[in-house]
Every structure is written in structure tokens, then in C-alpha cells.
Amino acid sequence: QAQGMKYPRYITVDGEGNILVSDFWSHSVCVYNEDGQFQFQFGGHGSGDGQLRSPCGICTDRAGNIIVADSENGRVELFDKTGRFLKHIATDLEWPWAVAMAPQGQLVVTDTRTHTIHIIQSH
């Protein structure tokens, strides 16, 4: 179901079965339940806390928090499972593209502009 999306990029499924999709052109994340029914959307264009500019990679941590590669803002953002902004995890990246959680809890981030991988020990 496409409600809320303009240009979906990355997708992940959280521990509760919710489907999370980063949307590049709407500068947001869309959340759907396990049946694909639209639940809510968060983010929005900008560079303030909780705002996104061309989000790409998305994953969740063990606590169910949502991690988003905020590409054009050059940072990685942490939101709770309701989409409430918690904090900036990394702000010194050029173009973060993909994010993943490693088995020991480290956050792995690729930066497509610098062709590098960043391993963040704790977030």
C-alpha cells in the first residue's frame, strides 16, 4: 500500500512486525503494520531535530528504536518506535547511505560520498 510514499528507498521490519520505509522525496519514514496498513509517518523536510533530508538506510536496534541515515543532512538519527526524535547518533558524515546493526550492538554506517564504512560502538 503506497499511502504516504513518494519515492520509497529502504525498508526494514521491526521486532513487532511493523514495516518501516524511508521515503527519499517526502523526507520521511512511513510505518505500516504487518498487514501493510499505513499507521503513521514521521520526519519531514528540514535540518532541525526530527527532520530529515533525503533519508536512505533504515534499521532498528534491540530496543525497537528506529535508526535513519539522514543523507543530505550528513547525519544518522535515532527515533523511538513511535517516531519521536531521540538524538543525533552521528553528525560528522558526508552522505550516510545505509545502516545496519551488528550482532554485538554496534551500528554500521556506509558513507557513499567518502566510500567509507563507520562502526559506531554505542548509540
Q: Over 60: is that where the pLDDT of 35 sits?
A: yes
Question: How high is the pLDDT of residue 3?
Answer: 65
Q: 0.85 cut: is pTM over it?
A: yes
What is the per-residue pLDDT across 60-119, written as a single tens digit (0 to 9) for each?
999 999 999 999 999 999 999 999 999 999 999 999 999 999 999 999 999 999 999 999
Q: Over 60: is that where the pLDDT of 58 sits?
A: yes
Question: How high is the pLDDT of residue 123?
Answer: 74
Which residues make beta-bridge pairs with 75? 70
Helix (H, G, I), strand (E, B) or coil at 97: strand
What letter would DSSP give residue 76? E
